[in-house]
Structure 1
Amino acid sequence: MNETSSAPKPSRAEAKAERRQQLIDATITSIARFGLTGTTMGKVTEIAGVSLGLANFHFESKDQLFEAVLQHLAAEQRALWLTRSQSPALSSSALLLAIVESRFHASICARKKLAVWFAFYGDASARETYRRAVGNIDDERLDATVAIVAEMIAEAGYAHLDPAETVLSIEALYDGLWLNMLLYPSDFRRSICRNRALKVITALFPKHFDNAPALG
């Protein structure tokens, strides 16, 4: 008699995490389609294919769900950036490029994810949720980038550059390119926007980049 093998069942904790992620993914889809005000727990559960009771078990309110969505998206980008920055042998310019690549990675720049970010940017009532959910991660990335840029300035003598002001300008560039990707996807493809960001950074720090970084 042949024994049949089957995949082990997920643990209760794994199943709970999977359901929670299912609701987060469904919320991202809903916000991209219907905006913040048009996203209800009913729409989320319909997209996720789960009951309202199950959704309420994981998230007591829509605001709590929205906060979890923002935390998920921010943590996803943070993990990618930190993974690319782990080697202690990386130069200051390589560390800066790791941050750029994390901002324009295909998994980060999916249009529905961009739609979620700008939904929160544009809704006055949601900005406090944004600051509460991802303010610390934003500050961590900004502080790290300022430190990298300060090191580059010290290395090459870019005396005309202020580290903090330069980083804020670079961050604004990222946001502007993301917005163009969302509004005009055929004209502002992800690879084009990534390349534009890299060209600006190369122009800011010419002594660190003899040539523009490899463009993909």
Structure 2
Amino acid sequence: MSERETPAGGRSRTAPREVRRSQLIDATISCIARHGISGTTMAMIAGKAGLSTGIVNFHFDSKQKLYEETIVYLAQEHHDKWFREYSNAGLSAAEKLLAIADAHFHAKICTPGKLAVWYAFFGEARRRAVYRDLIDRIDTRRFALSLQLCEEICRDGGYTSVNARVVAQTLEVMYDGFCLHILMYPRDLTRKDARAQIRTYLATVFPDHFTAP
């Protein structure tokens, strides 16, 4: 499905529905990163995308719907990145756990604009509720798989004193904390630094399976 947009020059342009939606989601990320959720308008998003507000309304019934699609897009993008690596049957449990960790700090995932959108949703009470409704399934699945990997590593290495659930929970906290720090203080912590600190933590907990940088 495609729609027609006629720019000022009078030359018609058409684009598939998914292309337009992608344009608008990218524009939404840019606008929220710069202006925040409350400061972003549909007119701003349309202008950033180089489209009319009519085209925005054609694809999204409301700004709320566009925001919801944007956060789902970001969550799915992150999920797809780590799940591709996780699904590699040739990887060990330790390598799969690192794949999940590293996906949080991939260059296409951990960008200032995308991080700003994540934390814009976290920062508003009613947005947090929406976030949980939309994203909880994806987050829950990642945690469950991480927990399974930690349990497998515990069994394989005989780490009888290690609580696998605590390790999996600690990793989740580290992901969120490092991403926030990268957003707020990018000169103090880089994506590479975050990956290194996670490896250091895992090497402390599972010394036979991980090596500190």
TM-score normalised by the chain length of structure 1: 0.89
Q: What is the distance in 1 between the residues matched to 2:19 and 2:48? A: 15
Q: What is the distance in 1 between the residues matched to 2:38 and 2:188? A: 29
Q: Any idea what SS the aligned residue of 1:193 has?
A: helix
Q: What is the distance in 2 between the residues matched to 1:161 and 1:36? A: 41
**2:126 is the counterpart of 1:136:** no
Residue 174 of structure 1 corresponds to: 175
AA in 1 matched with 2:2: R
Q: What is the distance in 2 between the residues matched to 1:87 and 1:196? A: 24
Q: What is the distance in 2 between the residues matched to 1:12 and 1:115? A: 31
The equivalences for 1:73-112 within 5 A come to: 73-112=74-113
Q: What is the distance in 1 between the residues matched to 2:84 and 2:162? A: 28
Q: What is the distance in 2 between the residues matched to 1:204 and 1:39? A: 44
Q: What is the distance in 2 between the residues matched to 1:93 and 1:37? A: 42
The equivalences for 1:146-157 within 5 A come to: 146-157=147-158
Q: What is the distance in 2 between the residues matched to 1:165 and 1:64? A: 36
Count of paired positions: 202
Residue 7 of structure 2 corresponds to: none
Residue 54 of structure 2 corresponds to: 53
Q: Which residue, 4, 7, 12 being the options, matches 2:2?
A: 12
Deviation at 1:205, TM superposition (A): 1.1
AA in 1 matched with 2:155: A
Q: What is the distance in 1 between the residues matched to 2:149 and 2:57? A: 43
Residue 72 of structure 2 corresponds to: 71
Residue 184 of structure 2 corresponds to: 183
Deviation at 1:58, TM superposition (A): 0.7
Deviation at 1:160, TM superposition (A): 2.5
TM-score normalised by the chain length of structure 2: 0.90
Q: What is the distance in 1 between the residues matched to 2:2 and 2:123? A: 38
AA in 2 matched with 1:20: R
Spell out, residue by residue over 1:70-92, the C-alpha distance to the aligned partner (whole angstroms, 9 max, x if none).
11111111111111122212111
Unmatched runs of 5 consecutive residues or more in structure 2: 4-14
Deviation at 1:200, TM superposition (A): 1.2
Q: Any idea what SS the aligned residue of 2:56 has?
A: helix
Q: Percent identity?
A: 39
- Bigger shift: residues 95-104 or 155-164: 155-164
In the alignment, is the contact (CA less than 8 A) between 1:142 and 1:167 conserved in 2?
Answer: yes
Q: What is the distance in 1 between the residues matched to 2:180 and 2:114? A: 11
Deviation at 1:161, TM superposition (A): 2.3
Q: What is the distance in 2 between the residues matched to 1:141 and 1:73? A: 15
Q: Pairwise CA RMSD of aligned residues?
A: 1.5
Q: What is the distance in 1 between the residues matched to 2:39 and 2:198? A: 33
Deviation at 1:50, TM superposition (A): 0.8
Q: Any idea what SS the aligned residue of 1:169 has?
A: helix
* Structure 1 consecutive aligned stretches of length 4 or more whose deviation exceeds 4 Å: none
Deviation at 1:121, TM superposition (A): 0.9
Deviation at 1:12, TM superposition (A): 3.5
